[in-house]
């Protein structure tokens, strides 16, 4: 059963568990690969996570001269292969979301790989396993569809795609604001 | 196909017209070069070691695979740009230093861990040493003659390089170069295997075919090679001809596999020197300013190259509010995305991004 990472952005409470969990994933060498941002830092406490969205047509891999960024059969866009990455940083500049991180000392790019050793076997990625507020969830397409039915939508749209993102992605992101009026269980 | 015909329309004859493809041209030139060098090295083919002809055939098959892989790789738009500009920048003053750092002492691997650095030095230099001994012997670029009893003459490219005592130190290193390199590779491969079996970070992502197979191949080569010495020294050459064939087989299989697996990074790695030169050179020329925060985040040249490459792939990140995502520095790009999600212009708030370093 194919599951996807699904982001319910407005649930985020800014605890940064996802960042901490990311450091603990095998192969991540104790460094995190995602981001948590304050939406309006001087005014309120709303935060939102920003993860690699695993584009169907990833700009990072397209711009890589060394073919170091591979795409897994699950659709996950993997981190740079350590022996192939030549440290040109094209990927960081190509990514429309600014996700890939670069280590100048090691001459190596690293980015979210959806915890591929877990997610290839259907185990949720670290961030989704620990998120206490259900901001990051690991769901099947049917479950994502079932979620859609709970909401009253005025425009027929509920997950972001074009024009909110730059292309088709394997990660689904909800549109903030549409969850109003829904009683949450946590 | 249409782009090909338009390129071919260029008038004027060039040597390229003589070849059906880039691949054919590269193969022809390298096989010719090998033949000519061997012709010179073996004093007009009078000193060919036919015992090693299997390696000769293996090398030519390897060259075929290498060009097939390398040309396909070099045709990718980003690779093509980098190779073209990298070749132009090879004359930079910093090139030798960068090359030694990246290709000789692997400084960046040291920063990934001392253990990994030691293992890579052992494997890498072991293999280089072995190749520097093996291939000159295979193609007859180097051989030994004994004119006076007890003295070897080392002949390099057909020239008498030096005469050494058969039981002297130089001669000892010559006889044992491959034993030394085999010991280095075995030590390095054992370290690598130990890491892959024990280290949880490595275990998470490794695959048998991609990560273990090349190690086992190197181990296979080194052990069969060392066994040849053991058989000669301790067993009076027992089963030596058979083992020699097994060793030859192991080398040829590895050579054929080399351009297509993990070991392909050996011939491709020099491009990292190109990449460093490219970043330094164009970074000195002009840096691009972030449209929102004004930070210099990348050279103008590289930014344009990436935009072009993405354009070839029909990707353009023009926003409705009039700018292109390539004009934003990375933190601003992330904040801009948050603003697309939330509707509030996070990237316009002049606050540094919050703590992103939560430790587990």
* CB proximity A46 to B under 8 Å: yes
pLDDT score for B3: 45
Give the per-residue SS3 of B224-280: HHHHHHHHHHHCCCCCHHHHHHHHHHHHHHHHHHHHHCHHHHHHHCCHHHHHHHHHH
Question: What are φ and ψ of residue B129, in 5° steps?
Answer: -60, -45
Whether A132 has its CB under 8 Å from any CB of chain B: the answer is no
Examine the pLDDT at B6 and tell me if it is beyond 70.
no
Phi, psi of B318 (to 5 degrees): -80, 130
Per-residue pLDDT, B223? 96
Nearest to B60 by CA among B218, B220, B261, B255: B255
Rounded CA-CA distance A76/A57 in Å is: 11
Give residue A22's pLDDT: 93
- At B157-169, the pLDDT tens digits run 989 999 999 999 9
Confidence tier at A169 by pLDDT (50, 70, 90): confident
Q: Which residues of A touch B333 (CB under 8 A)?
A: 95-98
pLDDT, average across residues B352-359: 73
Which is it for strands A47-50 and A159-160: parallel, antiparallel or unpaired?
unpaired
- Burial class from Cβ neighbours inside 10 Å (0-12, 13-18, 19+) for residue B331 reads buried
Residue B228 has pLDDT above 60, yes or no: yes
Residue B7 has pLDDT above 80, yes or no: no
Percentage helix, strand, coil for chain B under 3-state DSSP, each rounded to 5: 70, 5, 25
Distances, alpha carbon B241 to alpha carbons A136, B53, B91, B246, in Å:
63, 14, 48, 9
Rounded to whole angstroms, how far apart are CA atoms B165 and B150? Answer: 6
Contacting residues of A for B330, CB less than 8 Å apart: 92, 98
Question: Nearest 5°: CA angle at A114, between A160 and B106?
Answer: 130
| Nearest CA-CA distance, residue B242 and chain A, Å | 35
Q: Number of A:B CB contacts under 8 A?
A: 184
> Is residue B261 scored above 50 in pLDDT?
yes
Q: Chain B within 8 Å of A67 (Cβ-Cβ)?
A: yes
A11 in contact with chain B, both atoms CB, cutoff 8 A: no
Interchain CB distance below 8 Å, B358 and A19: yes
The vertex-B184 CA angle with B99 and B69, nearest 5°, equals 50
Interface confidence, given as ipTM, is 0.90
Query: Mean pLDDT score of chain A, rounded to an integer?
Result: 86
Quote the mean pLDDT of chain B.
Answer: 90
pLDDT tens digits, A137-167: 999 988 888 877 766 555 555 555 556 678 8
* Pairwise CA distance, residues B224 & B244, whole Å: 8
Q: Say how many C-beta atoms besides its own lie within 10 A of residue A183's C-beta.
A: 5
Q: Quick one: pLDDT band at residue B5, thresholds 50, 70, 90? A: very low
CA distances from A109 to A11, A28, A66, B64, B313 (A): 30, 12, 12, 31, 22
Length of chain A: 186
State residue B104's pLDDT score: 94
Classify residue A83 by its DSSP letter.
T
Record the tokens describing residue B214, joined without a space.
Answer: 């090349």
Domain boundaries defined on chain B: 20-272
Per-residue confidence (pLDDT) for residue B13, from 0 to 100:
77
For range B16-25, the mean pLDDT: 88
Q: Is B340 helix (H, G, I), strand (E, B) or coil?
A: helix
With 90 as the cut, is the pLDDT of residue B264 above it? yes
Q: Spelled out in words, what is the top-level CATH class assigned to the domain B20-272?
A: mainly alpha
Calpha distance A89→B239 (Å, rounded): 53
Q: Which pLDDT tens digit goes with each residue over B32-88?
A: 999 999 999 998 888 888 889 899 999 999 999 999 999 999 999 999 999 999 999
A1-30 pLDDT, tens digit each: 789 999 988 789 999 999 999 999 999 988
- Closest by CA to B166, choosing from B146, B195, B185, is B146
């Amino acid at each position: 059963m194919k599951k996807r990472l699904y982001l319910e952005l407005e649930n985020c409470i800014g605890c940064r568990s996802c960042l901490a969990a990311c450091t603990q994933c095998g192969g991540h060498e104790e460094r995190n690969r995602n981001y948590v941002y304050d939406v309006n830092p001087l005014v309120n406490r709303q935060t939102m996570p920003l993860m690699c969205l695993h584009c169907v047509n990833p700009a990072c891999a397209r711009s890589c001269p060394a073919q170091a960024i591979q795409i897994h059969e699950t659709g996950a866009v993997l981190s740079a292969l350590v022996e192939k990455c030549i440290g040109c940083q094209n990927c960081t500049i190509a990514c429309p979301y600014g996700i890939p991180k670069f280590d100048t000392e090691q001459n190596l790019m690293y980015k979210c790989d959806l915890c591929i050793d877990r997610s290839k076997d259907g185990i949720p990625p670290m961030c989704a396993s620990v998120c206490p507020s259900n901001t990051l969830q690991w769901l099947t397409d049917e479950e994502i569809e079932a979620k859609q039915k709970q909401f009253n939508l005025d425009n027929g749209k509920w997950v972001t795609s074009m024009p909110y993102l730059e292309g088709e992605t394997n990660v689904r992101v909800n549109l903030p604001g549409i969850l109003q009026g829904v009683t949450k269980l946590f | 196909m249409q782009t090909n015909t338009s390129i071919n329309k260029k008038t004027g004859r060039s040597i390229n017209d003589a070849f059906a493809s880039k691949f054919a041209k590269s193969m022809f030139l390298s096989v010719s070069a090998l033949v000519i060098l061997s012709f010179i090295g073996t004093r007009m083919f009078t000193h060919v070691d036919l015992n090693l002809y299997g390696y000769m055939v293996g090398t030519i098959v390897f060259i075929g695979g290498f060009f097939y892989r390398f040309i396909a790789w070099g045709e990718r738009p980003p690779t093509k740009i980098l190779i073209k500009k990298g070749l132009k920048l090879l004359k930079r003053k910093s090139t030798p230093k960068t090359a030694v750092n990246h290709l000789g002492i692997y400084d960046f691997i040291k920063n990934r861990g001392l253990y990994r650095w030691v293992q890579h030095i052992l494997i890498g230099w072991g293999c280089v040493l072995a190749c520097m001994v093996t291939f000159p012997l295979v193609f007859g670029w180097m051989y030994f003659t004994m004119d006076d009893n007890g003295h070897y003459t080392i002949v390099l490219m057909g020239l008498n390089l030096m005469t050494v005592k058969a039981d002297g130190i130089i001669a000892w290193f010559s006889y044992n170069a491959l034993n030394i390199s085999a010991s280095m590779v075995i030590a390095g491969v054992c370290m690598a295997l130990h890491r892959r079996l024990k280290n949880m970070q490595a275990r998470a992502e490794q695959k048998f075919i991609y990560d273990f197979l090349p190690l086992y191949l190197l181990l296979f080569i080194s052990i069969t090679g060392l066994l040849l010495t053991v058989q000669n020294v301790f067993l009076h050459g027992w089963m030596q001809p058979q083992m020699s064939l097994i060793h030859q087989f192991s080398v040829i299989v590895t050579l054929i596999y080399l351009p297509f697996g993990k070991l392909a990074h050996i011939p491709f790695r020099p491009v990292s020197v190109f990449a460093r030169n490219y970043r330094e050179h164009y970074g000195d020329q002009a840096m691009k300013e972030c449209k929102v925060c004004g930070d210099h985040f990348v050279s103008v040249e590289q930014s344009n190259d990436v935009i072009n490459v993405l354009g070839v792939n029909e990707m353009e990140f023009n926003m409705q509010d009039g700018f292109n995502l390539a004009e934003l520095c990375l933190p601003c790009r992330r904040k801009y995305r948050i603003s697309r999600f939330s509707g509030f212009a996070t990237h316009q708030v002049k606050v540094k991004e919050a703590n992103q370093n939560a430790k587990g």
